[in-house]
């Protein structure tokens, strides 16, 4: 092993707002000691996982699923027990449903346009 994953970092136009969305979705709190207006971290101190950071990118061109001209760039799979209940909650938080689903997953966009999947069995 060369190293350990410290954080997944997501570019967005409003780090605090997107951190609030993912904090509610994943049950993670903001690590205030590592947060300012341009950089917000969810999770504990380095070495405690999971950690997701959000950094200011005011000119972000969000992905446009499934358009290959603006690909998804990354996505998170979020395991849920009840996909219908989870869908209602993420939509209420500001997510939107995207085209595409399969056996065991549905695709959504977070409030900044990044795709993520609710994964279920």
Q: How confident is the model over 93-113, as pLDDT tens digits?
A: 999 999 988 888 999 999 999
Q: Closest by alpha carbon to 43, among 90, 5, 13?
A: 5
Q: CA-CA distance, 75 to 119, in Å (whole number)? A: 12
The CB density around residue 11, as the number of other CB atoms within 10 Å, is 19
The CATH number, out of the four listed (3.20.14, 1.10.530, 3.30.720, 2.20.70), of the domain defined by the range 8-56: 3.30.720
Take residue 35 and report the two structure tokens written for it: 């947060």
Query: What pLDDT, in 10s, does the model give residues 59-102?
Result: 888 888 888 888 777 788 898 999 999 999 999 999 999 998 88
């Amino acid at each position: 092993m060369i190293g350990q994953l410290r954080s997944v970092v997501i570019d967005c136009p409003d780090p605090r707002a997107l951190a609030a969305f993912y904090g509610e979705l994943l049950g993670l709190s903001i690590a205030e000691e590592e947060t300012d207006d341009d950089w917000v971290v969810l999770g504990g101190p380095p070495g405690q996982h999971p950690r997701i950071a959000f950094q200011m990118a005011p000119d972000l061109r969000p992905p446009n699923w499934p358009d290959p001209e603006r690909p998804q760039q990354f996505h998170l799979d979020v395991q849920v027990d009840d996909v219908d209940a989870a869908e209602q909650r993420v939509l209420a938080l500001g997510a939107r449903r995207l085209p595409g689903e399969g056996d065991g997953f549905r695709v959504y966009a977070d409030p900044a346009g990044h795709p993520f999947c609710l994964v279920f069995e």
